[in-house]
């Protein structure tokens, strides 16, 4: 599939796609425009997310180019990349958002289905955004998973990470150990948490995957409970 020229305003989630092969070009997501949200009685806009794009954790092959995210992501406590008082959104009753909102969300709930080489971005622009990155675990936020520890994507020009040079973005979870800390020069992102690896700092750096199969019957029990 390919989606070109997609634009949305005042949304909980700009876009998510479960598709093994998806090109997205010329994307504009304005999570909060400043207009007042009219909600059902008893509801508040702060109960709604302000997420830009959510990566899935397996079987997806997405390339996103020329994408702009505006006023996405929760504001309070997230000023690593932008400290403007108007960045993102807060929990106000006019056009607020949920406190877990982020520009990018990465699903990390699985120990059976794990990321491979499945996501790449180029020419990403942030305008007045709050929290940029979040490893999102819908099963148990207190425990890490295999999917969380090996989460990764290829930031072709460094525009997603903000380093502005080719970058590999890997998990920053503490129990990922030193897998993504390939050198002293990696950049730690506290918001994801993620690790940014500058491709040109090492010889022929890239992403790959190894698939090992040994006992189909035993493997089928992974992720299952008695």
The average confidence (pLDDT) of the chain is 91
Name the strand (E) or helix (H) holding 146.
Answer: helix 146-149
Q: Is residue 183 part of a domain?
A: yes
pLDDT at residue number 218: 84
Query: Which structure tokens are listed for 156?
Result: 């072709």
pLDDT at residue number 226: 58
Q: Is residue 79 part of a domain?
A: yes
Q: Is residue 226 part of a domain?
A: no
pLDDT at residue number 111: 77
Name every residue whose Cβ is closer than 8 Å to that of residue 187 and which is 6 or more positions away in sequence: 161, 163, 195, 196, 198
Evaluated on CA atoms 17, 106, 11, 31, the torsion sign reads negative
How far is it, in rounded angstroms, from Cα 130 to Cα 97? 11
pLDDT one-digit tens code per residue, 166-182? 999 999 999 899 999 99
Residue 53, CA distances (Å) to 13, 15, 121, 134 in order: 7, 5, 12, 11
Q: Is residue 224 part of a domain?
A: no
How much of the chain exceeds pLDDT 90, in percent? 67
Query: Which structure tokens are listed for 13?
Result: 């989630």
Burial class (CB in 10 A: 0-12, 13-18, 19+), 214: exposed
How far is it, in rounded angstroms, from Cα 199 to Cα 186? 10
pLDDT one-digit tens code per residue, 9-19? 999 999 998 88
Assess whether pLDDT exceeds 80 at residue 212: no
**pTM exceeds 0.85:** yes
The model's confidence at residue 140, banded by pLDDT at 50, 70 and 90, is low
Q: Is residue 20 part of a domain?
A: yes
Total tally of structural domains belonging to the chain:
1
pLDDT at residue number 113: 75
Name every residue whose Cβ is closer than 8 Å to that of residue 221 and which is 6 or more positions away in sequence: none
Q: Is residue 133 part of a domain?
A: yes
- Give the three-state DSSP class for 44: coil
DSSP letter assigned to residue 89:
B
Which residue range is the domain that position 72 belongs to? Answer: 2-35+44-219
pLDDT one-digit tens code per residue, 28-82? 999 999 999 999 998 999 999 999 999 987 778 899 999 999 999 999 999 999 9
Q: Is residue 225 part of a domain?
A: no
By the 8 A CB rule, do 36 and 95 touch?
A: yes
How far is it, in rounded angstroms, from Cα 70 to Cα 53? 12
Q: Is residue 164 part of a domain?
A: yes
């Amino acid at each position: 599939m390919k989606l070109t020229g997609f634009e949305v305003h005042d949304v909980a989630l700009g876009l998510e796609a479960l598709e093994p092969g998806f090109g997205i070009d010329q994307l504009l997501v304005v999570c909060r425009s400043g207009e007042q949200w009219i909600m059902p009685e008893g509801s508040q806009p702060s109960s709604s997310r302000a997420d830009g794009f959510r990566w899935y954790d397996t079987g997806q092959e997405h390339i996103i180019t020329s994408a702009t995210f505006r006023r996405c992501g929760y504001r309070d406590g997230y000023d690593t990349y932008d400290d403007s008082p108007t960045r993102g959104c807060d929990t106000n009753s006019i056009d607020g958002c949920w406190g877990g909102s982020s520009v990018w969300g990465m699903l990390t709930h699985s120990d059976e289905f794990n990321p491979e080489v499945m996501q790449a971005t180029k020419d990403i622009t942030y305008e007045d955004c709050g929290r940029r990155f979040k490893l999102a675990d819908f099963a148990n936020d207190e425990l890490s998973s295999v999917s969380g520890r090996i989460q990764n994507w290829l930031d072709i020009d460094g525009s997603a990470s903000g380093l502005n040079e080719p970058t590999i973005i890997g998990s920053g979870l503490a129990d990922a150990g030193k897998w993504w800390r390939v050198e002293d020069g990696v950049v730690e992102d506290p918001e994801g948490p993620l690790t940014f690896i500058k491709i040109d700092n090492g010889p022929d750096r890239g992403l790959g995957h190894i698939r090992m199969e040994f006992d189909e019957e035993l493997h089928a029990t992974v992720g299952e409970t008695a």
